[in-house]
């Protein structure tokens, strides 16, 4: 893929646009250029050794089939799940994790104002969830003017772009399992797609709002991947920016 070219999905160019999401570099992280590397050593769930590519071809495979409609009421927001090719991740398996996160009764469907369904056809989808390598995700996010420093994930209009490195290893000192972090990053970035902005930690020891930028630290809160707790919307104070 040309260095300045947009990522592609089976020959279809990823659209441009501005939007919200986690887009600032993590404080103190090593920002050395790794674009020449095909792979780097990483850490898997709970410190298990793992390897995954830092860059990929910029082309994607869509998960097959569709999910049931999840939620009690409201319009159906339909989404696709696409996974970058040749990165060792199965699109259907990734889609199952996304489906579980968005279909959980503590997720956005708890509002009773929207429902969700995964579909296979681009024509039927309102938005797309991508799993992409750090280099590819940074290029995709940059099309909308966002900088992730290859570290975090982002959302552009109609596009939720999840960084493979975060998907595979979460973040240091998160204090919860990789499964919890994955549910968080899905609900956080899809929350932006649903119009939600960033929020702050309400206080030490409290659950972190799902729209808190938990990737950059919990600020005394406890990891939480859900926008609804005990049947009620759980939120913190709005923070500056998106």
Give the pLDDT confidence of 96-148 residue by residue, as tens digits. Answer: 999 999 999 999 999 999 999 999 999 999 999 999 999 999 999 999 999 99
pLDDT of residue 50: 52
Phi-psi region of 67 (alpha: psi -120 to 50; beta: other; left: phi over 0): beta
Q: If you average pLDDT over residues 83-108, what whole number do you get?
A: 99
Q: Which residue has the tokens 């406890």?
A: 222
Say if strands 154-156 and 127-132 run parallel, antiparallel, or are unpaired.
unpaired
What beta strand segments (E) does 34-193 contain?
A: 39-43, 49-53, 60-62, 76-84, 115-118, 127-132, 154-156, 159-163
Closest CA to 21 of 156, 182, 186: 156
> Distance between CA 61 and CA 69 in Å, rounded?
22
pLDDT of residue 26: 34
- 84 has a pLDDT exceeding 80: yes
Pick the CATH number of 58-233 from 3.20.20, 3.40.30, 2.60.40, 3.40.390: 3.40.390
Alpha helices in 83-213 (DSSP H): 91-103, 134-142, 164-169, 178-193
- 202 has a pLDDT exceeding 60: yes
Which of 3-12, 125-134, 164-173, 230-239 bottoms out in mean pLDDT, i.e. has the lowest?
Answer: 3-12
Closest CA to 214 of 157, 240, 175: 175
pLDDT of residue 51: 79
64-93 as b/e: b if 16+ CB within 10 A: eebbeebbeeeeebbbbbbbbeebebebee
- 234 has a pLDDT exceeding 70: yes
The alpha carbon of residue 130 and the mean position of all alpha carbons in its chain are separated, in whole angstroms, by 8
Give the pLDDT confidence of 12-53 residue by residue, as tens digits. Answer: 333 333 334 454 333 333 222 333 233 333 333 333 335 799
Between 190 and 26, the more confident residue is 190
C-alpha pair distances (Å), 39 with each of 67, 134, 140:
33, 11, 19
β-sheet bridge partners, residue 115: 76
Q: Give the mean pLDDT of the chain.
A: 85
């Amino acid at each position: 893929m040309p260095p300045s070219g947009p990522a592609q999905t089976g020959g279809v160019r990823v659209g441009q646009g501005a939007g919200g999401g986690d887009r600032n570099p993590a404080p103190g992280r090593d920002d050395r250029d790794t674009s020449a590397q095909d792979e780097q050593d990483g850490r898997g769930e709970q410190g298990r050794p793992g390897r995954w590519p830092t860059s990929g071809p910029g082309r994607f495979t869509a998960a097959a089939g569709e999910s049931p409609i999840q939620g009690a009421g409201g319009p159906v927001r339909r989404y696709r799940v696409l996974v970058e090719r040749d990165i060792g991740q199965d699109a259907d398996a990734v889609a199952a994790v996304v489906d579980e996160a968005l279909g959980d009764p503590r997720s956005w469907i708890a509002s009773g104002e929207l429902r969700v369904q995964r579909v296979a056809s681009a024509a039927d989808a309102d938005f797309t969830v991508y799993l992409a390598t750090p280099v590819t995700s940074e290029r995709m996010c940059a099309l909308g003017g966002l900088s992730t420093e290859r570290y975090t994930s982002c959302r552009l209009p109609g596009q939720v772009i999840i960084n493979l490195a975060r998907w595979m290893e979460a973040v240091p000192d998160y204090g919860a399992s990789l499964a919890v972090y994955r549910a968080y990053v899905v609900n956080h970035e899809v929350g932006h797609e649903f119009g939600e902005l960033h929020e702050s930690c309400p206080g030490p020891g409290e659950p972190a709002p799902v729209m808190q930028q938990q990737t950059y630290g919990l600020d005394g809160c406890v990891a939480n991947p859900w926008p609804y707790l005990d049947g009620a919307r759980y939120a913190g104070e709005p923070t500056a920016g998106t």
